[in-house]
Amino acid sequence: MPTFTSMHLASALCWTISLTSRDYWKHLDGHRLSAKIAFITACNKQVIEGSLSDTGRQPA
């Protein structure tokens, strides 16, 4: 079984972060839409539960 040094692990981590950040920016519009949908969903849930006032809901 191969032994990994801290240099190998650091290199793999940097590579993963680089790929992840590239993917993030490539799909930025999708992330933005997902965040908006999650926000509205949370607002609606709180309105139904009665834990968000109408004043709190209006900016959404």
Q: How confident is the model at residue 12 (pLDDT cuts 50, 70, 90)?
A: confident
Q: Please indicate whether residue 51 or residue 22 has the higher confidence score (pLDDT).
A: 51
pLDDT digits (tens, 9 = 90+) for 38-48: 998 998 888 88
**Average confidence (pLDDT) over 24-42:** 82
Amino acid 3 reads T
Whether 57 and 43 have beta carbons less than 8 Å apart is answered as: yes
Residue 9 has which token pair?
């692990």
Contacts of 40 (CB under 8 A, 6+ apart): 60
pLDDT at 35 over 80: yes
Mean pLDDT of 29-45: 86
Check if the beta carbon of residue 36 is closer than 8 Å to that of residue 26: no
